[in-house]
Amino acid sequence: MNDVKRPLPNLDERDTEDFWAATLDHELRYQQCANCGTVMFYPRSHCTGCTEGELVSKVASGMGTVYTYSIIRQSYHPFFRNLIPYVVAWIDLDEGPRLLSNVIGSDDDIHIGKRVKLSWEAHDGVNLPLFRAA
Protein backbone atom coordinates (compact mmCIF):
# COMPACT_ATOMS: atom_id res chain seq x y z
CA MET A 1 0.00 0.00 0.00
CA ASN A 2 2.96 2.38 0.44
CA ASP A 3 3.19 2.89 -3.32
CA VAL A 4 -0.31 4.41 -3.46
CA LYS A 5 0.02 8.01 -4.62
CA ARG A 6 -1.86 11.12 -3.53
CA PRO A 7 -4.42 12.32 -6.09
CA LEU A 8 -2.97 15.41 -7.77
CA PRO A 9 -4.61 18.38 -9.51
CA ASN A 10 -5.00 18.72 -13.26
CA LEU A 11 -2.03 20.94 -14.11
CA ASP A 12 -3.30 21.80 -17.60
CA GLU A 13 -6.54 23.53 -16.53
CA ARG A 14 -6.55 27.02 -18.08
CA ASP A 15 -7.66 29.04 -15.04
CA THR A 16 -5.42 27.26 -12.53
CA GLU A 17 -2.26 26.33 -14.47
CA ASP A 18 -0.42 29.54 -13.40
CA PHE A 19 -1.35 28.89 -9.77
CA TRP A 20 0.07 25.36 -9.86
CA ALA A 21 3.19 26.47 -11.76
CA ALA A 22 3.89 29.05 -9.00
CA THR A 23 3.86 26.29 -6.37
CA LEU A 24 7.15 25.04 -7.83
CA ASP A 25 8.66 28.31 -6.53
CA HIS A 26 6.84 27.85 -3.18
CA GLU A 27 4.45 30.69 -3.97
CA LEU A 28 0.85 30.45 -2.77
CA ARG A 29 -1.01 32.77 -5.13
CA TYR A 30 -4.44 34.35 -4.85
CA GLN A 31 -6.18 36.98 -6.98
CA GLN A 32 -7.49 40.47 -6.35
CA CYS A 33 -9.64 42.49 -8.73
CA ALA A 34 -8.00 45.76 -9.76
CA ASN A 35 -11.47 47.16 -10.51
CA CYS A 36 -13.40 46.51 -7.27
CA GLY A 37 -10.76 45.10 -4.88
CA THR A 38 -12.45 41.72 -4.33
CA VAL A 39 -9.98 39.09 -3.07
CA MET A 40 -10.45 35.61 -4.53
CA PHE A 41 -9.26 32.09 -4.15
CA TYR A 42 -9.39 29.68 -6.14
CA PRO A 43 -7.97 31.03 -9.43
CA ARG A 44 -10.56 31.97 -12.02
CA SER A 45 -10.93 34.06 -15.14
CA HIS A 46 -13.40 36.67 -13.81
CA CYS A 47 -14.04 38.67 -10.67
CA THR A 48 -16.70 37.26 -8.34
CA GLY A 49 -17.47 40.76 -7.07
CA CYS A 50 -18.04 42.85 -10.19
CA THR A 51 -17.80 40.07 -12.85
CA GLU A 52 -15.28 42.12 -14.79
CA GLY A 53 -12.04 43.93 -14.15
CA GLU A 54 -8.44 42.93 -14.28
CA LEU A 55 -7.42 40.15 -11.90
CA VAL A 56 -4.03 40.68 -10.30
CA SER A 57 -2.11 37.66 -9.01
CA LYS A 58 -0.59 38.16 -5.54
CA VAL A 59 1.58 35.97 -3.32
CA ALA A 60 0.28 35.11 0.15
CA SER A 61 2.52 35.24 3.20
CA GLY A 62 1.55 31.68 4.05
CA MET A 63 0.16 32.60 7.45
CA GLY A 64 -3.45 31.99 8.40
CA THR A 65 -6.05 30.93 10.92
CA VAL A 66 -8.22 27.81 11.08
CA TYR A 67 -11.80 28.89 10.29
CA THR A 68 -13.24 25.40 10.82
CA TYR A 69 -12.02 21.84 10.52
CA SER A 70 -12.85 18.16 10.56
CA ILE A 71 -10.72 15.26 11.75
CA ILE A 72 -11.10 12.44 9.24
CA ARG A 73 -11.08 9.05 10.93
CA GLN A 74 -12.29 6.87 8.05
CA SER A 75 -11.42 6.97 4.35
CA TYR A 76 -11.93 4.54 1.51
CA HIS A 77 -9.30 6.06 -0.76
CA PRO A 78 -6.08 4.00 -0.41
CA PHE A 79 -3.79 7.02 -0.07
CA PHE A 80 -5.84 8.80 2.58
CA ARG A 81 -6.58 5.56 4.44
CA ASN A 82 -2.87 5.45 5.30
CA LEU A 83 -3.04 8.97 6.84
CA ILE A 84 -5.93 8.42 9.26
CA PRO A 85 -6.54 10.39 11.36
CA TYR A 86 -5.92 13.58 9.38
CA VAL A 87 -7.26 17.11 9.49
CA VAL A 88 -9.09 18.91 6.69
CA ALA A 89 -9.58 22.60 7.42
CA TRP A 90 -10.79 25.84 5.92
CA ILE A 91 -7.89 28.25 6.39
CA ASP A 92 -8.37 32.03 6.41
CA LEU A 93 -5.16 33.44 4.96
CA ASP A 94 -3.99 36.71 6.52
CA GLU A 95 -4.51 38.39 3.13
CA GLY A 96 -8.22 37.51 3.08
CA PRO A 97 -8.92 34.45 0.95
CA ARG A 98 -10.17 31.21 2.49
CA LEU A 99 -8.94 27.88 1.19
CA LEU A 100 -9.41 24.21 1.97
CA SER A 101 -6.30 22.23 2.88
CA ASN A 102 -4.85 19.71 5.29
CA VAL A 103 -3.34 20.70 8.61
CA ILE A 104 -0.45 18.34 9.16
CA GLY A 105 1.29 17.45 12.38
CA SER A 106 -0.58 16.75 15.57
CA ASP A 107 -4.38 16.56 15.27
CA ASP A 108 -4.84 16.66 19.06
CA ASP A 109 -4.09 20.41 19.21
CA ILE A 110 -6.34 21.57 16.37
CA HIS A 111 -9.01 24.16 17.16
CA ILE A 112 -10.93 26.99 15.52
CA GLY A 113 -8.77 30.11 15.61
CA LYS A 114 -5.48 28.15 15.60
CA ARG A 115 -2.68 29.99 13.82
CA VAL A 116 -1.12 27.98 11.00
CA LYS A 117 1.68 28.44 8.48
CA LEU A 118 2.21 27.12 5.00
CA SER A 119 4.12 23.91 4.45
CA TRP A 120 4.80 22.40 1.02
CA GLU A 121 4.41 18.77 -0.04
CA ALA A 122 6.60 18.12 -3.10
CA HIS A 123 5.51 16.02 -6.08
CA ASP A 124 6.70 15.74 -9.68
CA GLY A 125 5.61 18.95 -11.42
CA VAL A 126 3.71 20.47 -8.48
CA ASN A 127 3.94 21.29 -4.78
CA LEU A 128 0.79 21.06 -2.68
CA PRO A 129 0.06 23.76 -0.09
CA LEU A 130 -0.54 22.20 3.32
CA PHE A 131 -0.48 23.86 6.73
CA ARG A 132 0.99 23.15 10.16
CA ALA A 133 0.80 24.86 13.55
CA ALA A 134 2.48 28.28 13.53
Q: Regarding the domain delimited by 17-133, which CATH topology (the fold level of the hierarchy) does it fall under? A: OB fold (Dihydrolipoamide Acetyltransferase, E2P) (2.40.50)
At residue 1, does pLDDT exceed 60? no
Domain boundaries, the chain: 17-133
Percent of the chain exceeding pLDDT 90 equals 87
Q: What is the full DSSP assignment across 68-132?
A: EEEEE----SHHHHTT-SEEEEEEEETTS-EEEEEE-S-GGG--TT-EEEEEEEEETTEEEEEEE
Q: Quick one: DSSP state of residue 57? A: E
Q: For the whole prediction, is pTM greater than 0.85?
A: yes
